[in-house]
């Protein structure tokens, strides 16, 4: 006799029965709070793992690759580890040069020294240099990397050369 009221013996509506049996509804929020507690424990474990990951990134990288891109307008040097993850980089604009001063050999020297100092501070000792482009700062950037304290193992020219690729522009008539 679930629907009967003990005092009067009258039938109760379904809503009244649900309100009277509220103990079942009280158990569900506790289950949800338990789930939230489990999730927050997982977040704490994830945060601890991320903290460990940040500590692992600070270890030294002994060897890497230095990419020197010397164009007619700028010089960009980026130093990466063996897998290709960039460790340090610098460009003539970042070093404070503007306009036509960015394409000079002196700007390339400053850029290469800046990138090499960053890499040395992260524990790099030897580097393979890959030069790309025909700008004025090619040789000076390589010399600056050597003088910054990095041992150069290989110098490779990776400038793209067309094998009669695109059609040339029409001749200029004067």
Q: Per the structure, how many domains does the chain have?
A: 1
The confidence score (pLDDT) of residue 45 equals: 55
State how far the Cα of 113 lies from the Cα of 28, in Å rounded to an integer.
64
- The answer to whether residue 21 sits within a structural domain is no
Mean pLDDT within 124-148:
94
Q: What is the CATH number of the domain that holds 144?
A: 3.30.420.80
**3-state SS assignment for residue 40:** helix
Q: What is the mean pLDDT of the chain?
A: 81
Domain that holds residue 109: 63-157
Of residues 61 and 7, which shows the higher confidence score?
A: 61
- The answer to whether residue 36 sits within a structural domain is no
């Amino acid at each position: 006799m679930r629907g009967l009221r003990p005092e009067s013996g009258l039938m109760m509506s379904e809503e009244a029965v649900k309100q009277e049996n509220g103990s079942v509804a009280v158990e569900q929020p506790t289950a949800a709070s338990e789930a939230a507690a489990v999730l927050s424990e997982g977040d704490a474990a994830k945060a601890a793992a991320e903290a460990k990951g940040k500590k692992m990134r600070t270890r030294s990288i002994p060897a890497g690759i230095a990419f020197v891109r010397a164009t007619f307008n700028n010089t960009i040097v980026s130093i990466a580890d063996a897998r290709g993850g960039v460790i340090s980089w610098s460009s003539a604009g970042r070093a404070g040069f503007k306009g036509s001063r960015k394409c000079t050999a002196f700007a390339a020297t400053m850029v290469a020294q800046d990138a090499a100092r960053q890499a040395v501070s992260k524990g790099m000792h030897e580097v393979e240099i890959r030069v790309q482009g025909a700008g004025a700062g090619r040789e000076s950037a390589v010399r600056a990397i050597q003088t910054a304290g990095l041992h150069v193992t290989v110098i490779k020219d990776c400038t793209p050369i067309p094998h009669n690729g695109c059609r040339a522009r029409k001749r200029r008539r004067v």
